[in-house]
Chain A
Amino acid sequence: MERNSNDVRGLLSRMPDNTAFKQQRLPAWRSHLTAWAVLPGFFTTGAFFLGMGILLILSAKSVKEIEITYTSMCSNCAKLRENASNFYKECTCSVPFFIPEKMPGNVYMYYKLHNFYQNLRRYTISRNNRQLLGEDITNVENCAPFQRDSNGIPIAPCGAIANSMFNDTILLSYYPHSSTRINVPLLSSGITWWTDKHIKFQNPRSNNLPSAFTGTTKPPYWRKPVYQLDPENPENNGFLNNDFIVWMRVAALPTFKKLYRRIHRTGPFANGLPAGNYSFDIAYNFPVTVFKGEKGVVLSTVTWSGGSNLFLGIAYLTTGAVMWLAAFSMTAVHLKMKKRNIVSES
């Protein structure tokens, strides 16, 4: 008897389990490209894309944007900067321009660089986030080739990115009349990402910022040390300087714009920039002509989808159109085939 029961058990153990998984019978949905799923899908997606495209184009058009490239306008300064020996020489340049239409709401001021490769591999890795956290400001690992100066003193902030920081200062003036000149109030706050300002960049802990940076030296291309970047606002110095933080977020493409200032909406600018004559007063420090680059300033408003971006709208519109075209031709093919099938079946 015992042997018998063993046999039975043995038999059961040899027999594969009758589970849906092992027998490949898991309940499943069989996907199939049916006309009922594909064609309406194409039509609705196409419609959505067309609508979205139109919406995006309209909103892109509604954005008021002015871009002024000032490299050629300030050719004197550009020339001066080509020679490294003029490093400490000041050069200012005034660029007048006209805003034909009112720029309503928040107006943002960007600097734009053409042909500046912030995305070169060796450039992007030439930084040390630990140093920028203020934990150990003498940590210049990974910062080659801008780790230490010729005396071996560590550079703070180290690295190629920091060293090449954009250092033009741009002021915006409004001329309500040809004789009156109003300096447009600009805010340097709120131009950085919150996480950059509060997590990624920290000043070394110290009551006195300059003393915190003792034992380090400024990057070679800088005029001032990092703790003197903003003489007006002591809070905006050291690694927490907004312009510095913006610069350190390297651009993806060789032509890029970075937020420089926000228009402070007070006084005549409470509703944005009125139409009229303006000028940029630029302290021209950043050399670009050596590498055939260009610099510019961009004034722009934003909409729900950000700044002016015609590409996205056009891409959506095109995609939508193509989808409809495809949907129509697929419908035609499908109906024809159906007809043929019916004919052949009958």
Chain B
Amino acid sequence: KVDHREKKEFELLQFPNNRIHTSKYNVLTFLPINLFEQFQRVANAYFLFLLILQLIPEISSLSWFTTIVPLVLVLTITAVKDATDDYFRHKSDNQVNNRLSEVLINGRLQSEKWMNVMAGDIIKLENNQFVAADLLLLSSSEPHGLCYIETAELDGETNLKVRHALPVTSELGTDISRLAKFDGVVACEPPNNKLDKFTGDLSWKDNKYPLNNEKIILRGCVLRNTSWCFGMVIFAGPDTKLMQNSGKTKFKRTSIDRLMNTLVLWIFGFLVCMGIILAIGNSIWEHQVGDYFRAFLFQDEVVKNSIFSGFLTFWSYIIILNTVVPISLYVSVEVIRLGHSYFINWDRKMYYSKKETLAEARTTTLNEELGQIEYVFSDKTGTLTQNIMTFNKCSINGKTYGKLFSPLKKIFPLLFSYNKFQFYDHSLVESIKLGDPKVHEFFRLLALCHTVMPEEKNEGKLIYQVQSPDEGALVTAARNFGFIFKSRTPETITVEEMGKVVTYQLLAFLDFNNIRKRMSVIGTNDTFEFGGEGLRTLAIAYRDLNEEYFKEWFKLLEEANREFDKRDECIAAAYEEIEKDMMLLGATAIEDKLQDGVIETIASLSLANIKIWVLTGDKQETAMNIGYSCNMLTDDMNEVFIISGHSAAEVWEELKKAKEILFGRSTGFTNGYAFCEKLQELKRGSTVEESVTGDYALIINGHSLGHALEANLQSEFLEIACICKTVICCRVTPLQKAQVVELVKEYRKAVTLAIGDGANDISMIKSAHIGVGISGQEGMQAVLASDYSFAQFRYLQRLLLVHGRWSYFRMCKFLCYFFYKNFAFTLVHFWFGFFCGFSAQTVYDQWFITLFNIVYTSLPILAMGIFDQDVSEQNSMDYPNLYRPGQLNLLFNKSKFFICIAHGVYTSFALFFIPYGVFYNLAGEDGKHIADYQSFAVTIATSLVIVVSVQIALDTSYWTVINHVFIWGSVATYFSILFTMHSDGIFDVFPNQFPFVGNARHSLTQKNIWLVILLTTVVSVMPVIAFRFIKVDLYPTLSDQIRQLQKVQDKARPLKSHRRQPRRTSSRRSGYAFAHQEGYGELITSGKNMRVKNLHPTSGLGKTMYNSTSWIENLCKKTTDTVNSFSLDRTVKL
């Protein structure tokens, strides 16, 4: 990559400018591109093909408008939607492209629109500004070229990240003239979408400096806590990582979608078969009858050959019978799903008022699958728990304070002004007031030993910038008990102790890491050292150090730092040296509380036969605690299997044991390598499962899971896991989460749902059939990847049991009816074929064919598909068993489809042959003949509209005012359109288009015709009613029973709630969380993050522990380490 404005011509050729296009069309290209896109859909292409067929006069059996009207309607609706979407994209593009940023041009800073920014430009950014392009950080207002960025827009993480410039460039500072002369050349990797990686180097003044991600500020970030910085544009516009990342998301489809596509293919096959039958019929007829008849009808016959005639007839019938797969199917399905999505968005019972968060259906095409979920994979932290750490209990000097529930005493929570902090023990406050030194030490330590950054907002409000929420909880607790952490500098910590401001000298800072599991702060006032050991139930200890000892130790530490090969070990040894012989002060307990309603939700979902697996990155104990606290693990479980082997053999052994317990020794354990048969077995469905009784639970950790997911063990693992009532996987990587989901998806053929809130859940959310994001603590990343999002885990119950169930129920009903309706509608032509010489004569008026699906019958079915309810929402929640039919896919499957088709065929049969029988020898009341084609058409059409309307009326189980309006309205519309099209006026204008003039008037005033319509309707509908009645009587489904119950309930108000209280048998209740990450320790002590003006000149022993370069190297090393370990992990597990 080359830079600078002077080489502009060159750049223009090579690099895009910073203008971004997320929009797809402009005014000119909209029509061609949009149409091209739309016709790529098979359905639309098919209808275009039909339209072309219809333009061939020899074949055309229907006027072109019968196809083009619905097609244009569908295309228009889609185009309007696309156009609106694109309009908003244009708007946001324009807004973004016209943002201003300060660019260094010709040695001066000038305001320039974002879209004119070029690769190689030098840009000045100010605090809280959005970054215009991917920049190489050159210099900043902060010391050592540091700057802070927030990457929320990129990856959703809200915590601040540090970037730092190369020392050589950070010297440039704010010197415009020098910056303008900057002529470094950056060579780097081509544009890519990896947000956490950058490799390249900067050649400047004959030196090469390596560049990595730490020196890059990406577009989409916001500059924070940094008053200004300069950066050189490396990637602009479409090359930026932000834009590179905005790729297409994986398109998810529901099982109903797939089934629908299969069925549509079958219907096509059926269509072709019918076409062939009728074509053969035509050939025979032409041969036997038509040949002789020809003289009468046609002077010059185009179609001389009966075989050729049959061929043409085939295509003609394909056109006529195409309505078995109506174009409106796909549109209607989309409309219904959209409606259901809106209902989810509108649901007040899934609205979390504390955060003003709505439930959101981010994908509108998956709703009915919510009614078929069998497995739920849940994250723990932030999903089951609130991820809000609360200081709940502490033990000081052997005395325990905190939540002591006793049934005798009513406990009033202590309320603190800040943060609505609650603590349920007054004795602690008493102790503080009494000045118990141990208690004071305890809280002093809490106020000192941490990496929290205070930020004083105006009005003197203290805001703590915390890196881990539990740290925040501790410091906040200390603050509430009178030990207020006020400010820090690299060398001092200022604490207000019971109203008295004390400044401590900070000597050394031993940051938390996962091996030591402790953190120490060595400071001086009276010379002290505090250490917090193992952040779980945090033990607080201290040690008094004398100065000599510390000096000695510090020397040791510096030596360790100078060590090159084994630096880490030496440092660890030094830390170990000083962190011993400590006095235990007490312990704190931080609780990550379960979210409200989690227990009830899990209980209810279990009753709905939804299996919930917890996949968490936490360690086993924490995960198990949560398991107990949300009743997934109970003390009365038969067995809790814990798989924690470190090698494949150990895991195999453990699984074997588990299996022996499950099936008894006799069953034995099949060779783990004979997994193919096993998988077959699993696919066939689980007969084994039923034979196992009792509650079992499986807990497996990440190491073991890695082995269990290998090809030879995964079948065994899956088998055991599926038998267990509860499965908890702990210490799993994001990738493993996805692998577990994939495994279940693949071998259980079950519909899966993954729910999580953090970045580590994204892979799982994306690979599950349905991904749900909790819009909670850990930023928006999971939500952005999800299909549905809401604020609290408990809403999952409502999403699945109410919305999901209804969506599935409605969609199935819709599809059944839709296929039925169109078969009844279309097959009449087939029967008529046998009586019109297979001439592809339609039974109905062409206008009727055009309007039937889009006007006469579209709205009632949509109303049913959107509003229908079999049981009320309350009952859906109260009887989770109602969810079963969805999981078993009972409401719409292939056999249901055939029933619907058979129903349609039967109806078409009745619709044709009853009028046929009557018209065979019919004369009007006035003796005039009414057995003409047009009357026949009107009779059958009217019968059809009435029959399908009665049928939808029967199918609709929830008659709202909308259903009434649509159903009655459709019938009324039919008659008004019929009379309009058969009126004199319209005939006078278009005599050839509306030849049915006067028909409705004559036919529909004949008693005979109405008797035919009545008979047809009754014959078509009666068997359905009888069949359904008998079915409800003999084999009532749960839904039927509850509907009956509902009737009774409705009569006997007030409603009684049938909610069952979930039993509580768990012994342990609270889940304690802790952080695993290393903190800001180094950053704090190095002072790199402190403003220069804040730095007080300090005296005393403690200087910064490392020199600046070593610190930076350290930080870099750490980051690369994590990256490496992650990628290593990936390669191994893949």
Contact = CB atoms under 8 A, between A and B. Distances in A.
Interface of A: 10-11, 14-18, 22-24, 26-35, 38, 41-42, 45, 49, 52, 56, 84, 106, 108, 110, 115, 117-124, 128-130, 132-133, 141-142, 145-146, 160, 164, 190-196, 199-200, 220-221, 246, 249-259, 262, 287, 290-292, 300, 302, 304-309, 311-312, 315-316, 319, 322-323, 326, 330, 333-334, 337
Interface stretch (B271-279, B910-918, B1091-1099): B910-918
Contact of B1011 (A16, A17, A129, A312): A312
B356 interface: yes
Given A15-B351, A253-B916, A292-B289, A42 B931 contact: no
Contact of A145 (B299, B839, B919): B299
Contacts of B869: 24, 28, 30
B481 interface: no
Given A11-B356, A26-B962, A250 B1032 contact: no
A337 B351 contact: no
Contact of B353 (A15, A128, A312): A15
A3 B301 CA distance: 84
Contact of B929 (A52, A56, A195, A249): A249
Interface stretch (B132-140, B601-609, B1042-1050, B1122-1130): B1042-1050
Given A45-B1022, A130-B991, 17 more contacts: A15-B353, A18-B348, A23-B347, A24-B806, A26-B867, A28-B959, A30-B959, A108-B923, A108-B927, A119-B836, A129-B991, A194-B1002, A254-B835, A262-B927, A290-B296, A306-B924, A306-B927
Contact of B289 (A10, A11, A32, A291): A291
B984 interface: yes
Contacts of B526: none
Nearest to B288: A292
Of B1002, B1033, B1034, B1050, most buried by chain A (CB within 10 Å of CB) is: B1033
A316 to B, nearest CB: 6
Nearest to A300: B923
A221 B628 CA distance: 95
A230 to B, nearest CB: 19
A22 B932 CA distance: 50
A32 B957 contact: yes
Contacts of A322: 1022
A24 to B, nearest CB: 6
Nearest to A13: B356
Interface in B939-978: 953-954, 956-963
A24 B921 CA distance: 52
Which of the listed residues A42, A196, A199, A250 has the most CB atoms from chain B within 10 Å of its own CB? A199
B1029 A330 contact: yes
Interface in B337-357: 342-343, 345-349, 351, 353, 356
B934 interface: yes
A16 B346 contact: yes
A33 B1030 CA distance: 10
B920 A30 contact: no
Nearest to B300: A145
B840 interface: yes
A122 B342 CA distance: 50
A122 B297 contact: yes
Contacts of B932: 249-252
Interface residues of B, number: 100
A117 B919 contact: no
A300 B301 CA distance: 38
A16 B929 CA distance: 61
Contacts of B960: 26-28
Interface string B320-343: 000000000000000000000011
B791 to A, nearest CB: 11
A24 B992 contact: no
B595 interface: no
Interface stretch (B21-29, B433-441, B1012-1020): B1012-1020
Contacts of B564: none
Contacts, number: 291
Task: From A142, A249, A258, name the one whose CB has the most chain B CB atoms within 10 angstroms.
Answer: A249
Contacts of B921: 257, 307-309, 311
Contacts of B345: 16
Contacts of A192: 928
20 contacts: A15-B351, A22-B343, A26-B867, A30-B1050, A32-B1047, A35-B1029, A52-B1011, A84-B295, A117-B293, A121-B841, A124-B933, A194-B1002, A199-B988, A253-B919, A259-B928, A305-B1007, A306-B1007, A308-B921, A322-B1022, A326-B1026
Interface SS of chain B: helix, strand, loop or mixed?
helix
B1006 interface: yes
B936 interface: yes
B1049 to A, nearest CB: 11
A325 B31 CA distance: 61
B997 A199 contact: yes
Nearest to A115: B289
Contact of A117 (B836, B1011, B1012): B836
A326 B998 CA distance: 40
Nearest to A22: B346
B982 to A, nearest CB: 9
B837 A16 contact: no
B1011 A33 contact: no
B99 interface: no
Contact of A311 (B920, B1001, B1028): B920
B998 A160 contact: no
A110 B929 contact: yes
A312 B928 contact: no
B1008 A305 contact: yes
Contacts of A262: 927
Contacts of B353: 11, 15
B1001 A195 contact: yes
A243 to B, nearest CB: 12
A23 B873 CA distance: 10
B935 A252 contact: yes
B79 interface: no
Given A14-B356, A305-B925, A26 B961 contact: yes
B292 A304 contact: no
A334 B1026 CA distance: 12
Contacts of B351: 14-16
A307 B959 contact: no
Contacts of A117: 289, 293, 297, 836-837, 839
Nearest to A161: B297
A333 B1030 CA distance: 7
B297 A142 contact: no
A107 B353 CA distance: 82
B358 A14 contact: yes
Contacts of A120: 297, 836-837, 839, 841
A309 B1008 contact: yes
B315 to A, nearest CB: 13
Nearest to B937: A252
Contact of A195 (B917, B1002, B1011): B1002
A85 to B, nearest CB: 13
- Which 6 A-B residue pairs are closest in the complex by CB-CB distance? A195-B998, A307-B923, A252-B936, A129-B991, A108-B927, A22-B346
Contacts of B992: 128-130, 141-142
Given A121-B61, A257-B923, A33 B835 contact: no
Given A119-B836, A200-B998, A160 B1022 contact: no
A119 to B, nearest CB: 4
B995 interface: yes
Contacts of B842: 121
A322 B301 CA distance: 49
Nearest to A192: B928
B549 interface: no
A333 B963 CA distance: 32
A121 B1032 contact: no
B957 A30 contact: yes
B1025 interface: yes
B998 A305 contact: no
